[in-house]
Amino acid sequence: MHGLKLVERFKSTQVHALSPSDTTTGGKSSRGKFINHKIKSFSKSKPSNWVSVSESTHLPYGLPTTDLLQPFIDPHLKPVDFVGTLADLYRRLQTCSAQSNDKSMLCIKQYSLLRSLGDPKLLRQCLRAARQNAGDVHSKVVLSAWLRIERREDELVGVSAMDCSGHILDCPKAALVSGYAFNSIHDNCQCLKDHSEVIDTSIFIGNECLGLNENSDVSFCIGNEEIKCVRYRIAALSRVLNVMLFGSFLESKMDRIDFSQIGISVKGMRAAEVYSRTRRLDFFSPEIVLELLSFANRFCCEEMKSACDAHLASLVGNLEDALVLIEFGLEETANLVVASCLQVMLRELPSSLYNWKVMKFFCGSEARERLARVGHASFLLYYFLSQVAMEESMVSNITVILLERLKECATERWQKALVSHQLGCVLLERKEYKDAQRCFEAAAIAGHVYSTAGVARAKHKQGQQYSAYKMMSSLISENKPVGWMYQERSFYNVGREKILDLKTATELDPTLLFPYKYRAVAKVEEKQIREAILEIDKIIGFKLSPDCLELRAWFFLVVEDYESALRDIRVLLTLEPNYMMFHGKVTGDYLIGLLSHRVQQWNQADCWMQLYQRWSCIDDVGSLAIIHQMLANDPGKSLLRFRQSLLLLRLNCQKAAMRSLRLARNHSISEHEILVYEGWILYDTGHREEALSRAEKSILLQRSFEAFFLKAFILADKSLDPESSSYVVQILKEALKCPSDGLRKGQALNNLGSIYVDCGKLDLAADCYMNALDIKHTRAHQGLARVYHQKNQQQAAYDEMTKLIEKAQNNASAYEKRSEYCDQEMAKFDLDTATQLDPLRTYPYRYRAAVLMDDQKETEAVEELTKAISFKPDLQMLHLRAAFYESMGNITSALQDCQAALCLDPDHKETLDLYNRAQD
C-alpha cells in the first residue's frame, strides 16, 4: 500500500492490485500522446485542482497537489507504549509453560506486534517459535505453510507445494504428527530418506486371508453375497459391534446377519473382515478405505477410524486430491484427512486464493462451522489466510470475507483489536466509510489506540473534518505524543498549524513518509521544484519507498531531467515490478519506453562501464537503475539478479532482495550456480549449515568465485580463532584465483583485508585494501582507515575516511565511521551529520548518550536514547538504556528495557547478563 493516493489511486492499493490491466484502461488513450518526439501539453484536459508549474511543463496528468495527499493508515498493531508492550509479552512468554499451544499463540501475538517494524528475520523468528511450540496437527499445518509463504517458495522453479525443505518445522509430513517435539528450528527431518517397503498385495485373494487360518463363525449378507468372518475379531473392532455380536441383541444368536441396509458394499465388508484380522489398509483402494471410514463411524470403531484417517491423509498429494477428499473428511469428521487437505490448500497459497473451489471451504456461509466440527477452524488459520489475501488485494471481496471469519474466531482482546483494525483499513480502502468507522471504533475500544486515527480518517471521509481534528487533538493531550498522532492531526489542520504538526511529526519520527511528501508537493505548488526534490531526497536517502520514488520522478519530469526521472522509475520497478504510475494510469515499463527516447542510449558494454562508475562512488540507487536496464536487455542473466539482490540488501529492501535472489536461482543454467544462489537464500533465512553445504557442493561441481566467496562469507560470520581465520583466508585466495569482475573481486579483497586486520597482519591488510582501491572498490577506504587506526596513525585514518566521504554519494555510514578517528567535537559533528542523513543508524544515538552519561547528564543521556527508541526500538539501544537505568538505580525501568530487548532477541548474552543482574 502507498500513502500517495492521487485521484484514481483511491480505488485500490498499489502493492496489492490483482488486475493491473483493469486500472490502465482509463489512461490508454493518453499514453500514445505522452511523448511523441517531444511531450505534448494536456493542459486543456487537466482538472481544475491540478497545478501546472508553467505551460512548458507538458505533463499528461498534471502534478499532485497537497489536497490529494493523505497519510497512510498502517494495517498492523501499533501500541503507543511499544517497549512496555514488548516487555509484558516477554514476561508472559517466560511464565508460559514450555511446549504449549498457549505459548505458540503468544508467539503469534509477538509476530503481530513486530510486523510494523518490517524486519522479515524477526517475523520468521516468531513463526518458527510458534511452530516449535505447537502441539496439535492443525496449528502445525497452518504454521508450516505460513513459514513456506514467508520464504516465498512458490516462486522457486521446480519446487512443488508439498516438497520438504529438509527442516522439521517446515516439513509437511511432520506437521501431520500430533504432539510436542523438542526440536530446534534448525533440526532436519527424516522424510527425505528412503523408508519404502515392499508390500505383498497377494496376501489378499478373494475372501481369504492367506496365513491366517481361522474358522469363520458368522456371515454378513449384502444382497446375494455372503462375507464370512470371525465373530470375535469383528466384535473387537468396537464396543458397539461387541454388544451386537455377544450381547443380548438378536444378532448375537445369528450365524447370518443382514447388512444390506448398512450402507457398505460387498468389497467394503470384505475389506473390514481383512482389517479385523490384519489391522492393515495398504491392500485397499482409496474408495474402499473411504467405505471403511464410514463403517467405522457408524459402528464407533475408533481404531479403524484412526487408521483410515491416517491412511487417507497420506494419500493427499495435490490440490485435486485435496478438493475430493476434504468433502469426505468433513462429512466423516476425519480430522487428519481434513488437515492433510488443508495443508495442500495452504501450501498452494497465494495461487489457491483464486480457486473458487478452495475458497468455498474458507469463505462460505457455513465454512467456519463445518471446519470447526473437525477442529480446523481457528484464529490462527484465518489470520494466515487474511494476511495473504491482504497482500494480494486490500479491496477484494475474499479479503473482506476472510477477515469476517477471522473476527468470528477472535477471543482475546488483542485478537479483536487486530482484526477490527485490519477490517477497518480494508473497508476504508473500499470507501465503505461508515462500516470502516465502526470497525476502527471497535478496535479502539479493545485497547488499540492507533485505531483512533482510523476513526478520525473515516469521519473525515464522511465530511466531519472538525470532529476528526478534535479527536486527534484529544488523543495528543491524553497520551505521550508520538509521530503518527501529529501526522494524522496535520491532515485535518490548515495553514501554519498544519506545517507545525508535520514538523513535530518528523522530529518525533523521521521515518514517516507523509510529512516529506507533503512539504515537497507544497514546494511544487509554490513553483520551487528544485527545493521539492531536495525535500523528497531527505527520505529517499535512508528509506527507499516506491511512492516517494514516483513523486521524485514526477518532479524530474517537470524540470525535464529525463535521465534522473528514468533512473527513479527503473529503481521503483525493481522494488515493485507491477507498479502503476500517475494515478494508476501508466505502467512503469511503458513510461520507460517513452522516456528512453529522451536520453542517451547505452549498449550492454556502456551499461557495465556506468555500473562500475556508480558502484565506485557508492551510488546504490543509480547502480540499481543500471542493472534494471541491463536486465531489460538480458533478462536471463542470473549474475545481474544476484548483484541486484546485494544492492537491495544494502538499501534495507529485504523483501525485494530475496525476490531477486530467487530470480537469480531460477534463471541459472548450471547446477553449480543454482547451488550458490540457494546457499545465499538459506543463509539469509537463517540456515547457516545448509548454506555452507550448498557452497561446498557447488565447489565440487565447479570451482567458481561465487562458491568460494559464499563459503568464506558464511565461515567468517562468527568469532574466528587463528586457525579458522587462516582457513577463511585460503578460501578467499582461492576465490580470487577464479574468473570474476572487478566489482566482486574488490569485495573479496575488502573481506580478506578485514580478516587480516582481525589477525593483526596490518601490512597484508593494507595491501588488500590498496589492491581493492586500484579496481575502484571505494569502500576499501574504510578498511584502510582501520589499518591506520591500528597503527596509531589517527590523522591518516581520518584523511582516508574523508576521501570516502568525498567519493561516496550515500555517505552517512562514512561520517559515522570517521567519527572514530577524530576528537570529541569533530566526532559530534560527524555523528550529527550521519543522523541527519540517516536517522535509522543507531550508533550516533548510542555514542551521544554515552558521552552525556560520562558527563553525568543522566537524564539527557536517557532522553537521547528514548528519542530514537520511540521510532526504532533497536536491541542495542534498549540494552544501553537498560544499563543506564541500572546505574541510576531505576531497576524497574532497567528490567522493562531488558525484557523488551529479549523479546527481540531472547539469546542476546549481554542483555541476559544485565537482566539477571537487575533481577538479583
Strands 218-222 and 256-258 turn out to be: parallel
CB atoms within 10 A of CB 445: 13
The per-residue pLDDT for range 284-330, each reduced to its tens digit, is 999 999 999 999 999 999 999 999 999 999 999 899 999 999 999 99
Angle of helix 546-558 relative to helix 562-575, nearest 10 degrees, comes to 170
| Mean of pLDDT values over 811-839 | 94
d(CA 311, CA 328): 14
**Residue 680: partners with Cβ closer than 8 Å, 6 or more residues away:** 642, 645, 661, 691, 710
Q: What are the residues whose beta carbons fall under 8 Å from the beta carbon of 785, sequence distance 6 or more?
A: 796, 797, 798, 800, 801, 804, 817, 818, 821
Among 44, 68, 846, residue whose Cα is nearest residue 491: 68
Q: Does residue 16 carry a pLDDT above 80?
A: no
The SS3 of residue 41 is coil
**The pLDDT of residue 538 is above 80:** yes
CB 241 within 8 A of CB 235: yes
Average pLDDT over the chain reads 87
Q: Please give the pLDDT value at position 28.
A: 33
CA atoms within 13 A on the CB side of 229: 31
Question: What is the arithmetic mean of pLDDT over 517-524?
Answer: 96
Find the length of the chain. Answer: 920
Q: How many CB atoms sit inside 10 A of residue 59's CB?
A: 19
Q: Which residues pair with 219 in a beta bridge?
A: 228, 256
Flag whether pLDDT at 21 surpasses 50.
no
Which residues make beta-bridge pairs with 256? 219
Residue predicted with more confidence, 65 or 306 = 306
**Low-confidence winner among 13-17, 468-472, 629-633, 848-852 (lowest mean pLDDT):** 13-17
Query: Would you say 237 and 276 are in contact if contact means Cβ atoms under 8 Å apart?
Result: yes
Number of separate helices (H) and strands (E) present in the chain: 47, 7
- Count CB atoms within 10 A of the CB of residue 6: 24
Angle at 57 between CA 601 and CA 1, to 5 degrees: 80
Cα-based distances in Å from 573 to 591, 650, 670 = 11, 17, 28
CA distances to 104, 538, 713, 867 from 509, rounded to whole Å, are 32, 14, 35, 9
Are 896 and 84 spatial neighbours (Cβ–Cβ below 8 Å)?
Answer: yes
What is the domain extent for residue 588? 513-601
pLDDT, position 679: 95
> Residues 597-621: pLDDT tens digits?
888 889 989 999 999 999 999 999 9
Q: Over the Cα atoms of the chain, what is R_g?
A: 32
Please state, as a whole number, how many other Cβ atoms lie within 10 Å of the Cβ of residue 758.
Answer: 15
What lies within 8 Å, CB to CB, of 467 at 6+ separation is: 456, 459
* Average pLDDT score over residue span 232-243: 93
What is residue 186's predicted lDDT score, i.e. its pLDDT?
Answer: 66
Do residues 376 and 338 make contact, with C-beta atoms less than 8 angstroms apart? yes
Q: Is residue 542 part of a domain?
A: yes
The fraction of the chain above a pLDDT of 70, given in percent, is 90
pLDDT for residue 448: 97
pTM for the structure as a whole: 0.88
Element (H, E) at 228: strand 225-229
Q: How far apart are CA 650 and CA 741, in angstroms?
A: 20
Sign of CA dihedral 635, 637, 638, 644: negative
The pLDDT of residue 262: 86
Instruction: Give 210-213 contacts, CB < 8 A, sequence gap 24+.
Output: 212/277, 212/278
Of 107 and 10, the one with more pLDDT = 107
Q: 431 by DSSP, 3-state: which?
A: coil
Backbone angles phi, psi at 247, to 5 degrees: -95, -150
Please tell me the total count of domains within the chain. Answer: 1
**Nearest of 278, 275, 201 to residue 241 by alpha carbon:** 275
Q: In what order do the strands lie in the sheet with 256-258?
A: 225-229, 218-222, 256-258
- What is the pLDDT at residue 99? 67
Look at phi and psi of residue 796 and say left if phi exceeds 0, alpha if psi is from -120 to 50, else beta.
alpha
Is 484 within a domain? no
For residue 104, give every residue at least 6 positions away whose Cβ sits within 8 Å of its Cβ, in sequence order, or none.
Answer: 129, 130, 131, 133, 134, 135, 139, 143
Q: Is residue 537 part of a domain?
A: yes
Contact (CB, 8 A) for 696 and 710 = no
Give the whole-angstrom CA distance, residue 191 versus residue 210. Answer: 32
- The string over 318-351, giving b where at least 16 C-beta atoms fall within 10 Å of a residue's C-beta and e elsewhere, is ebebbbebbebbbebebbbbbbbbbbbbbbbbee
Angle at 350 between CA 344 and CA 352, to 5 degrees: 50
SS3 label, residue 3: coil
| Whether the bond into 350 is cis, omega within 30 of 0 | yes
Give yes or no for residue 749 having a pLDDT over 80: yes
Cell of 397: 471481496
Cα 328 from Cα 343, distance rounded (Å): 16
Q: Tell me 51's DSSP state.
A: B
Asked if residue 499 belongs to a domain, the reply is: no
What SS3 state is found at 219?
A: strand
Q: Alpha-carbon distance 811 to 153, whole Å? A: 35
- Which residue bears the cell 500517495? 4
Question: What is the tens place of the pLDDT at every residue in 141-155?
Answer: 999 999 999 888 878
pLDDT digit string (tens) for 30-57?
333 333 333 333 233 333 333 333 333 3
**CATH code (residue 586):** 1.25.40.10
Copy the grid coordinates of residue 865.
536514547
Q: Output helix, strand, coil percentages for the chain, rounded to the nearest 5.
A: 65, 5, 30
b (16+ CB within 10 A) / e for 384-419 = bbbbbbbbbbbbbebbbbbbebbbebbeeebbbbbb
How confident is the model at residue 193, as a pLDDT?
Answer: 58
Backbone angles phi, psi at 57, to 5 degrees: -65, -45
pLDDT at 189 over 90: no
Q: What are the tens digits of pLDDT across the range 498-519?
A: 999 999 999 999 999 999 999 9
CB 469 within 8 A of CB 100: no
The answer to the question of residue 520 being in a domain is: yes
The answer to the question of residue 485 being in a domain is no
| Per-residue burial over 503-517, b = 16 or more CB atoms within 10 Å of its CB, e = otherwise | ebbbebbbebbbbbb
**Domain assignment of residue 216, yes or no:** no
Residue range 397-407: mean pLDDT, rounded: 95
pLDDT of residue 183: 61
Mean pLDDT over 267-291 rounds to: 92
Among residues 363, 307, 360, 366, the alpha carbon closest in space to that of 337 is found at: 307
431: left (phi over 0), alpha (psi -120 to 50) or beta: left
Phi then psi for 726, rounded to 5 degrees? Answer: -60, -40
3-state secondary structure of 552: helix
79-106 pLDDT, tens digit per residue, is: 999 999 999 999 999 998 776 778 999 9
Task: Rounding to the nearest 10 degrees, give the CA dihedral for residues 110, 116, 121, 122.
Answer: -30
In a domain, 532, yes or no: yes
- Going by pLDDT thresholds of 50, 70 and 90, the confidence category of residue 184 is low
3-state DSSP assignment of residue 625? helix
End-to-end CA distance of the chain: 47
Could you tell me if 86 and 873 are in contact, meaning their C-beta atoms sit under 8 angstroms apart?
yes
Q: Is 106 helix (H, G, I), strand (E, B) or coil?
A: helix
Residue 874 is given by DSSP the state: -
Q: What are phi and psi of 482, to 5 degrees?
A: -130, 165
Which residue, chain included where needed, has cell 561516496? 808
Report the C-alpha gap between 683 and 657 in whole angstroms: 13
Question: Within its chain, how far is the Cα of 14 from the centroid?
Answer: 17
Q: Within a 10 A sphere around the Cβ of 237, how many other Cβ atoms?
A: 23
